[in-house]
Structure 1
């Protein structure tokens, strides 16, 4: 298997990891609203694990195949690049926020954890969902050059 084939194989794995993180984030939110603290903790740790695996596999895919040029044109290209840009910027922003949330939870500083989670959660959810959208547009709807 050559690098391109391996990279193309990793792309749906990464989309699946983003989908897994999304489901775990939604479940974690529902659990905390229901005051099911242990279930919330497990769901959020699963989201962290899925996101961390995504990052490892994404960097591997990027090292193997580099960037792909979106094949869509016009409005489709503008929409794709807008989603991609916001996804990339917020993906970088969310990493230290999630690490801080983990630290606050581990040290049982739950008031601070809750305050930061109100900002971090929607960013992380957006990054997970737009990761799936970017994958779908690039690999299934318009393709790449």
Structure 2
């Protein structure tokens, strides 16, 4: 593995996180509708396992991201697209960056509330964290595709 492989690995981590986040959301919604206590508990356990996995995968992404940019000493990766697609890319990038910074706070905070058993506050935070985390994960993959696969700089 070389430094040039890290963006692909990071995009893979983001894609996996996306699947885990969505699946975790599905299971907690199933738990909320479940009338059988045993099945409800099973759905909650599955939700916890999926969300813990999403946190771990996202943490691995962050390590990879920081490693990549540290090894490249902040070198810029130019976007090769022009015209309207450049505008689309920049809108995605400019929304992704500040929301990714927010997620670095929101995810651990939401996770900590669940660990503490403060589920009322956990749910209140998760209403914001879930859609933002999902957006950041999806747009992270899109940024990778735009930069390295669809419109790489010449």
TM-score by length of 2: 0.88
Alignment of 1:63-74 (within 5 A): 63-65=70-72, 66-74=75-83
Question: Does 2:14 match 1:10?
Answer: no
* Distance in 1 (alpha carbons) for counterparts of 2:126 and 2:134: 11
Contact 1:7-1:62 at 8 Å conserved across structures = no
Structure 1 gap ranges (5+): none
In the TM superposition, what is the alpha-carbon distance from 1:64 to its structure 2 partner?
A: 2.2
Other-structure match for 2:66: 59
* Aligned match for 1:29, one of 3, 6, 25: 25
* Aligned match for 1:92, one of 90, 96, 101: 101
Structure 2 gap ranges (5+): 32-42
Other-structure match for 2:145: 136
Instruction: Provide runs of 4+ in structure 1 moved above 4 Å.
Output: none
Other-structure match for 1:43: 50
- Matched residue SS, 1:34: helix
Moved more, 10-19 or 67-76: 67-76
Contact 1:14-1:57 at 8 Å conserved across structures = yes
* Aligned match for 2:125, one of 116, 140, 143: 116
In the TM superposition, what is the alpha-carbon distance from 1:90 to its structure 2 partner?
A: 0.2
TM-score by length of 1: 0.93
* Distance in 1 (alpha carbons) for counterparts of 2:116 and 2:106: 15
How large is the Cα RMSD of the aligned pairs? 1.2
* Distance in 1 (alpha carbons) for counterparts of 2:126 and 2:66: 26
